[in-house]
């Protein structure tokens, strides 16, 4: 297995790792139900499935 010929500096290592960070997801508030949800994701409110503020699937299956 190959090994580096010279040691990489801490600065070089840290430059590579600048983008390896955890970011908080962007949250939105539904205009129809007032529920907090993640953007571009369907979400449940009282058993009903909503997406972009519209009812996609109700609990009764209608």
**C-alpha angle 55-43-56 in degrees, rounded to nearest 5:** 20
Which range marks the domain in which residue 44 is found? 26-62
Confidence band for 61, pLDDT divided at 50, 70 and 90: low
Query: What confidence tens digit (pLDDT) does each residue in 51-60 have?
Result: 998 999 998 7
**Domains of the chain: total:** 1
Confidence band for 62, pLDDT divided at 50, 70 and 90: low
Q: CA-based Rg of the chain, rounded to a whole angstrom?
A: 23
Mean pLDDT over all residues of the chain?
A: 90
> Does a structural domain hold residue 10?
no
> Does a structural domain hold residue 8?
no
Q: Which residues contact 25 (CB under 8 A, 6 or more apart)?
A: 38, 39
* Highest mean pLDDT: which range of 9-13, 29-33, 58-62: 9-13
Q: Check: CB of residue 43 under 8 Å from CB of residue 35.
A: yes
């Amino acid at each position: 297995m190959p090994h580096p010929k010279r040691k990489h500096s801490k600065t070089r290592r840290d430059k590579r790792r600048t983008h390896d960070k955890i970011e908080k997801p962007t949250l939105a508030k539904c205009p129809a139900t007032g529920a907090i949800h993640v953007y571009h994701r369907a979400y449940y409110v009282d058993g009903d499935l909503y997406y972009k503020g519209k009812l996609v699937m109700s609990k009764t299956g209608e």
